[in-house]
Amino acid sequence: MPIYCTYSIIAVLLVVLELLYFRIADYCNIIDKPNERSSHSSVVLRGGGIIFLFAAWIWSAFFGFHYPWFLAGLTIVCGISFRDDVRSLPDSVRLIAQFAAMFLMFADFGILNWQSWWIILLALIFCVGIINAYNFMDGINGITSGYSLAVIAPLMVLNHSLHFMETSYLVVAAMACLIFSFFNFRPKGKAKCFAGDVGSIGIAFIILLPLGKLILQTGDVTYIILLAVYGVDTILTICHRIMLHENLGQAHRKHAFQIMANELQIPHEVVSLCYIAIQIIVSLGLIYIRQWHWIYAITTIVVLCAAYLIFMKKYYHLHEEYLNSKKINR
């Protein structure tokens, strides 16, 4: 069967499964109600990001079960995340599932050995941090699927010359993002569904497989800046909240993208496109600068951090005014 026919069949299956999930979610009342963290004000179907789990299983069925431990880990972490979307679970349960799932992915990487246990432990903590950062950043329409495409596209470009991953895997992951974007990448109040934890954590896990294989094959850890925009926003926001003596487990709206969407009233799709565009520019720079990767990576991080700090210095007072207004209304 020609490859384009296979991709067409997969696309149809993904659309059908997503629409079927919408029927189930509507019937079972799996919805996202606005809270203090939300940038939306209406009730929307939750968990539409389960399409990413469907995509991984369908890819394996069509192209072979090349990464059985990864697939098992993805199923575990998505299952727990979906359960959390329906009814909240303790943080400890979610973290145990995430570490177990990441450990299974490392088994497919072939890097598990007792001699390097401390490196593996640090890598586990770092990777679990990445998938949670992805979850933290899932707050406005289009940002999760759009940003994921901005990561997958450079991986496809790099894979053309380095051949670290099956091309079909990246294509199917991109297809899932595009299909989900059709239902989610819309103006505020018009999204058909939200990704939920199952979506944001699931696609992060899916992206970490080719990214990890790329880093292991090349020995170049600077490829981690393919996630630089999310990384800088997440880490600096956490640092900011620590400085404010806030409980990190409580919902908040202090990310730069949240202030842009809420206090500055910039349309969701515009904010998402800004994050997508910046990450693509950063990634293209890394791809086409053949030497001095470390200098480029450090310079990029410094510039992004400076931009974040300047933005917060100029606009964070709007968020404080919003918090004060809530106190007065109470």
Selection from 152, 194, 202 nearest residue 172 by Cα: 152
Determine the Cα–Cα distance for residues 58 and 65; give it in Å rounded to an integer.
Answer: 10
Say how many CA atoms lie within 13 Å of 178 toward its Cβ. 11
* pLDDT confidence of residue 218: 95
Determine the Cα–Cα distance for residues 244 and 160; give it in Å rounded to an integer.
Answer: 46
- Give the domain range for residue 277: 3-329
- Angle (nearest 5°) at CA 123 between 118 and 124: 95
* pLDDT confidence of residue 114: 84
* pLDDT confidence of residue 100: 97
φ/ψ (deg, to 5) at 32: -110, 110
* pLDDT confidence of residue 267: 94
Token code pair at residue 128: 């679990």
User: Rounded to an integer, what is the distance from CA 104 to the centroid of its chain?
Assistant: 19
Other beta carbons within 10 Å of 101:
27
φ/ψ (deg, to 5) at 31: -130, 160
Determine the Cα–Cα distance for residues 139 and 135; give it in Å rounded to an integer.
Answer: 8
Question: What does each of the 330 residues of the chain score in pLDDT, given as a tens digit?
Answer: 789 899 999 999 999 999 999 999 999 888 876 655 545 556 789 999 999 999 999 999 999 999 999 999 999 999 999 999 998 899 999 999 999 999 999 999 999 988 888 899 999 999 999 999 999 999 899 999 999 999 999 999 999 999 999 999 999 999 999 999 999 998 877 889 999 999 999 999 999 999 999 999 999 999 999 999 999 999 999 999 999 989 887 888 999 999 999 999 999 999 999 999 999 999 999 998 878 899 999 999 999 999 999 999 999 999 988 888 877 665
Token code pair at residue 241: 């909240």
Other beta carbons within 10 Å of 292:
11
Where do we find the tokens 């400076």?
Answer: 306
Amino acid at 9: I
**Do the Cβ atoms of 213 and 165 come closer than 8 Å?**
yes
* pLDDT confidence of residue 44: 85
Helix axes 117-136, 228-243, angle to 10 degrees: 80
* pLDDT confidence of residue 330: 57
Determine the Cα–Cα distance for residues 212 and 105; give it in Å rounded to an integer.
Answer: 10
Q: Name residues whose C-beta falls within 8 Å of residue 102's C-beta, 6 or more positions apart in sequence.
A: 73, 124, 127, 128, 131, 205, 208
* pLDDT confidence of residue 2: 81
Where do we find the tokens 């570490």?
Answer: 99
* pLDDT confidence of residue 77: 97
Determine the Cα–Cα distance for residues 115 and 213; give it in Å rounded to an integer.
Answer: 20
Please give the tally of structural domains in the chain.
1
Selection from 262, 265, 137, 114 nearest residue 200 by Cα: 137
User: Could you give the 3-state DSSP secondary structure of residue 193?
Assistant: strand
* pLDDT confidence of residue 34: 60
User: Rounded to an integer, what is the distance from CA 25 to the centroid of its chain?
Assistant: 22
Question: Whole-prediction pTM value?
Answer: 0.94
Selection from 275, 264, 269, 271 nearest residue 317 by Cα: 264
User: Rounded to an integer, what is the distance from CA 152 to the centroid of its chain?
Assistant: 11
- Angle (nearest 5°) at CA 34 between 30 and 37: 120
The neighbouring-strand residues paired with 44 are 32
User: Rounded to an integer, what is the distance from CA 153 to the centroid of its chain?
Assistant: 14
